Structure 1
C-alpha cells in the first residue's frame, strides 16, 4: 500500500471515530492513524506497529465490551432479534481494519524488502494517477456515450502509447493503404422539377399568424 492509500486508511478511520472521539481509546487510535502518512521506511513502519500493539494492550479489554439486548430493548438491534452486540463497534472496526491490512501485507507494502532490493519503490501513486490514469480518464470523458468496447480499446491505446517502446505503425495493415471508394455526394436541395416537394402550409392555417411570420427586433418583438 502506498502513502496515497494510507491517506485513505486514515480517512476511513476518521469516518468511524469522527474527528473528535468521545473516549480516550478513540482519541489515541485516531492520533496513531494520523501518523501513518508520515511512515517512509521499514524502520518507521516497525515503530508505528509497536504503537498499535501498545494501544491494544491498553484498550483491548475496552473494545471487547458487549451490550446485552436485555439491557437496551429499545435498540433497533434488539428489536431485530440480536441477543448482544459490541459496545464500541465502530472503534473495533477501525482497529481491526488496521490489523487486517497489516496481516495481509498491504499496510506498508512499499517497505517490502523484496521490492526495495530491486531499487527504490515510490511511496505514492502520483506517477500513475497523474501520468496514466489522468489520461485514461480524459479519454473516457471524451468518448462517453460510445460503446463499452470502443472505450475499452481507446483506454488500451492510451496505455500502449505509454509503454517503453510503442510502435503504432505496426498496427497498420496493408488493407489500410488500399484506395477506398469515395462516397458519391448527395445533391443539395430537391432535384430539378421536384421543387413542389417542399412542404406547404396546410389549408386553413395562416402561415403569418403569431409565431409563424417574419420576426424583427429584439427577441422577435416589433
Structure 2
C-alpha cells in the first residue's frame, strides 16, 4: 500500500494548507491561507507502518516483546491490529524437479509444507496428516519430477493419486531412523546385527554400481535368514501375548521387529523408491535423497520461533507461522502491501447501559439520587477501631 502525499486540507473550507512553523513539541503547524484556520495533522498511515515494521521485525527475530525501547504491554497494545493482516500466496504454476513434503506440529495444529529445497511453494493447516489435508495441498501444485517424502502413509497414497507421473524418493534419514526403532542401536541377535549393518551401509551408497551391490547383499541376507523370519509362536495358556497380538489369534511371528525392519527395505526395493535419486541423476535431474533441507529450514525455523516466543495463542501462532513461511517463498512481496486501512480501524465498543433496577423497590427510587442502605454509607454510630 503506497503512502499518500503530505498535502493536508483545511477542515473548515477544504482549501490546501501551507506550513506555518512548528509547535513547541516539534510538530508541523499548518495554516489555511483562505480562512486563516491553523491546525496540526497526524499521519496515521506512517504511524501504522512503523508499528507494522516493528511487528515484522519481532516475528523474524528472537527478541522478546517490547525489548526495544518500550514496555511489553505497550508493544502488545500497539501491534494488536497487526494480527489481522495475513499474506496471500499466488500460485505460479512452475514445474519443479523435486518437492519435499512434510508436516510439523505446533499448539494443537499441524502445518503441511511443500518445499523445493530452496524456497517454500505452499502450505496447508490441519489437525493431523491425513488424506484430505494432503489433497488440499497437492491439488494446487503441478506434479514435479520427484517427491521426497518421509514415509507417511496418507501422503504416499495422495502423491500416487494426484501426481501419477512423479517418482517417489524415501528419505534416507527416516529410513535409518526406522531401522534403529525396529532393531535398536545395539541388537543382540545375529540376524539383527547383520540387517543393521545393511541399514548403516545404505548411507554410503552414492552410485548405481554400489546400489546394485547393496541390493545383492540385502538379497543374500534374505536368503540366509529366510527360515528365521518365519519362526512362529503358538498361543498356549502360559504364553504371554505381545501387545500387537489380538486375543483370538492362535499364532504370531516370533521376531516381529526383525520382520518389520526387513519388510521396510523389501517394500522400498519393490516399489522402486530407494534409489530414485541415483536413477534420475543419470538423466541429468539432481534431487536430494533426504528431507533434511526442509527439516533444517522451514521446520526448524517454526520450532525456533515458537521457542523464542512462548505463550502465543493458537490463532496468533498460525498468523505468525504464515508470515514466517511466506517470507521463505521465492519472491515474497513487501509485507506492507497486504495491509488495508480497515485492518487498523478500531472496533466499535458496545456501551453497557447502567443498571437502574437494584432488585429492591425501596432503593429503586433512590438509585442515582441519594445513598442507599445497601451501600453501607448511611448514618453510623461509634468509632472505628474503638472498643466499648
Question: If the length of structure 1 is used for normalisation, what is the TM-score?
Answer: 0.64
Per-residue CA deviations over 1:196-215 (Å, capped at 9, x if unaligned) read: xxxxxxx66xxxxxxxxxxx
Q: Which moved more, 1:123-132 or 1:46-55?
A: 123-132
Q: Show the 5 A alignment for 1:125-144.
A: 125-144=291-310
One of 259, 264, 267 as aligned partner of 1:92: 259
Q: Which has the higher helix share?
A: 1
Q: 1:151 to 1:16 in 2, by over 3 A?
A: same
In 1, Cα distance between equivalents of 2:343 and 2:258:
63
Secondary structure in 2 matching 1:35: helix
State which of 145, 162, 169 in structure 1 corresponds to 2:311: 145
Aligned counterpart in structure 2 of residue 101 of structure 1, from 250, 268, 283: 268
SS in 1 for 2:206: coil
Deviation at 1:14, TM superposition (A): 3.0
Q: Does 1:58 align with 2:227?
A: no
Question: Where does structure 2 lack aligned partners over 5 or more consecutive residues?
Answer: 1-147, 150-168, 347-383
Given that 2:302 and 2:324 are in contact with CA atoms closer than 8 Å, whether structure 1 keeps it comes out as yes
Whether 1:38 aligns to 2:231 is no
Deviation at 1:29, TM superposition (A): 1.0
Of Structure 1 and Structure 2, which has the larger fraction of its residues in strand?
Answer: 2
Distance 1:92 1:144, change over 3 A: same
Where 1:76 maps in the other structure, the secondary structure is coil
Q: 1:77 to 1:170 in 2, by over 3 A?
A: same
Query: In angstroms, what is the RMSD of aligned CA positions?
Result: 3.4
2:222 is the counterpart of 1:75: no
Contact (CA 8 Å) 2:170, 2:274: kept in 1 or not? no
Gapped runs of 5+ residues in structure 1?
181-202, 205-222
Q: CA deviation at 1:176?
A: 6.1
- Does residue 49 (structure 1) correspond to residue 215 (structure 2)? The answer is yes
Alignment partner for residue 21 of structure 1, among 163, 187, 201? 187
Bigger mean CA deviation after superposition, 120-129 or 57-66: 120-129
State the TM-score, normalizing by the size of structure 2. 0.39
- Worse-superposed segment, 126-135 or 156-165: 126-135
Q: CA deviation at 1:52?
A: 1.4
- Contact kept, 8 Å, 1:143 with 1:151, in 2: the verdict is no
Residue pair 2:191, 2:225 contacting (<8 A) in 1 also: yes
Output aligned runs, 1:168-179, within 5 Å.
168-175=335-342
Tell me the residue number matched to 1:156: 322
SS of the aligned residue for 2:233 comes to strand
Closer/same/farther in 2, CA of residues 16 and 138 from structure 1, 3 Å limit: closer
Query: What corresponds to 1:121 in structure 2?
Result: 287
Deviation of the 1:175 alpha carbon: 4.5
